[in-house]
A = this chain, B = another copy of it.
Amino acid sequence: MTTMLASDQTGPQTGGRAVKRIGIIGTGIMGTDHARLLTEAVSGAVVAGVFDLDTERAAGAAASSGGARVFADPYELISDGGIDAVLIASSDATHEAFVLACIEAGKPVLCEKPLAPTVEGCARILEAETAHGSRLVTVGFMRRYDPGYTDLKTLLKDGAVGAPLMLHNVHRNPAAVPGLPDAAVITNSAVHELDVTRWLFDEEIVEVTVHRPRATAQGGGTQDPQFLILRTASGVLSDVEIFVNARYGYEVRCELVAEAGTVTLDAPPPTSVRRGGLHARELPGDWRPRFAEAYRLELQDWIDGTGGGATAWDGFAATFVAQACVAALESGERHSVDLPPVPALYR
C-alpha cells in the first residue's frame, strides 16, 4: 500500500487514488482551517506533519488531523521523506524563506498570499523556481476558485456580454485593527482585487490611481475607505472600493461592464427572512463563510495537481502592483506599473 502514500498518480489495485502527505507550516486560523479541510473534505490528502512556533497549537492541529507528526523545525518538515507537499500559512515575513526551501527540496508548495511582502523577495522566488526548471509554487489567491468568480469569468470568456470595458469592485470588512497603516489596507486587503483583475482579464495592470474618500471615524486614523482605479493593458478600468471598517458585515461584490451587457457577482445566501418590517438576507461576519467553498476547491485542485492556481509570477505581480498602489496613494498621482517581462517558465 505504499503507493497509497506516494506522490505519483498511479492508483492502487483496489481502487481509489494516490494520497498526498501534506506538511503544514503555521497552524493559526488559516493553517488550522486548511488542516481541517484537508482531513475532512478533500480527497487524496492526509495531513502528515505540522509545525508552529506555538508547539501546543501545533499539537492540537496534529491531533485533529488524525495524528499528524509534529515537527520541531519547519525546515526538517520540508525536507522530511514522509512529506510530499507543503502548505505555508505562517506569518507573511516567513513566506519567502520557506518557499525557497520547498523549491530546493523539489516539493510542491501552496503559500498563503502574499508570496512575499516585498517585490525583491518575490523576485528571488521567481529566480529559484526558474533555476529549478519547473513550477512548484502555488499562491493562495482562493477567489480564483470561488464559484461566483469562476461563473463570472466563464460568462466573460463565452462572450455572453461582449468585450469588457470596466469592473466595479466592492470589498468590505466589518472592522480592522485601529490605526492600521494606510498601505496595509492595500497590501492585505485590496491585493485580492489586484489578483482578480489580472486573472479575470488575463492581462496585466499598467496604471493605477488611488483616491482618498472622506475617512470613517471608525478607523482610528486609517485612510479608510480607499478608492483604487486600475487600468489594464487593453484599457479596461477596474475600480476598487476597499473599506476595512464597514461595520455592517463582510461583503465582496463586483460588476463587470461590457459592450453588450453587464455581469454582477453578489453571491446571495440561499435563504431570506421576513421579520420586524424587513425582508432581509444575512451577510457574513468575515471572509471565511463567504469563501469556504473556494478554499475547499483550491485545496482539492492543489492536491489534484492540475495547476489551476496562482503561480509565483502571479504572486510577484500582485505584490508589484500593490507597491505601485501604495506609491499612488501617497503621491495622489497616477502611477504607471512597469512590470518586467514574464519569465519563460510562466508564459
- Give A contacts to B, CB under 8 Å: 1-2, 4-5, 11-17, 19, 21, 38-43, 45-49, 62, 65-69, 82, 146-148, 151-152, 155, 160-161, 163-166, 168, 170, 209, 211-218, 225, 227, 229, 234-237, 239, 241, 243, 246-249, 251, 255, 257, 259-283, 285, 293, 300, 304
The answer to whether B12 and A269 touch across the interface, beta carbons within 8 angstroms, is no
User: A278 is contacted by which of B46, B66, B212, B280 (Cβ under 8 Å)?
Assistant: B280
Given contacts A271-B151, A283-B274, contact A214 B237 (CB under 8 A): yes
Give bound CA distance, A261 to B278, whole Å: 10
Given contacts A147-B270, A261-B247, contact A15 B21 (CB under 8 A): yes
Give bound CA distance, A43 to B212, whole Å: 47
Residues of B contacting A209 in the complex (Cβ-Cβ under 8 angstroms): 209, 211
Give bound CA distance, A274 to B278, whole Å: 11
The answer to whether A5 and B11 touch across the interface, beta carbons within 8 angstroms, is no
Assuming A12-B66, A248-B276, what are 7 further A-B pairs, CB within 8 angstroms?
Answer: A4-B5, A42-B43, A152-B271, A218-B259, A246-B262, A263-B272, A280-B280
Give bound CA distance, A163 to B12, whole Å: 53
Query: How many copies are assembled?
Result: 4
Given contacts A168-B241, A217-B163, contact A271 B279 (CB under 8 A): no
Q: Which residue of B lies closest to A249 (CB)?
A: B277
Residues of B contacting A227 in the complex (Cβ-Cβ under 8 angstroms): 166, 229, 237, 239
Give bound CA distance, A268 to B270, whole Å: 6
The answer to whether A11 and B67 touch across the interface, beta carbons within 8 angstroms, is yes
Give bound CA distance, A43 to B92, whole Å: 30
The answer to whether B19 and A4 touch across the interface, beta carbons within 8 angstroms, is yes
Secondary structure type dominating chain A contacts:
mixed
Q: Which residue of B lies closest to A219 (CB)?
A: B259
**Least distance between A87 CB and chain B CB atoms (Å):** 13
**Least distance between A85 CB and chain B CB atoms (Å):** 13
The answer to whether A48 and B15 touch across the interface, beta carbons within 8 angstroms, is yes
Given contacts A166-B225, A265-B270, A274-B261, contact A49 B15 (CB under 8 A): yes
Give bound CA distance, A187 to B211, whole Å: 24
Residues of B contacting A45 in the complex (Cβ-Cβ under 8 angstroms): 16, 43
**Which of the listed residues A14, A237, A264 has the most CB atoms from chain B within 10 Å of its own CB?**
A14
**Least distance between A339 CB and chain B CB atoms (Å):** 19
User: A151 is contacted by which of B16, B164, B229, B269 (Cβ under 8 Å)?
Assistant: B269
**Least distance between A153 CB and chain B CB atoms (Å):** 10
| 24 A-B pairs in the complex with CB atoms less than 8 angstroms apart | A15-B21, A15-B48, A15-B49, A15-B68, A17-B46, A40-B300, A41-B300, A43-B43, A43-B45, A161-B273, A165-B213, A165-B214, A168-B241, A212-B237, A216-B259, A218-B259, A243-B257, A246-B262, A248-B277, A248-B278, A249-B274, A249-B276, A263-B274, A264-B271
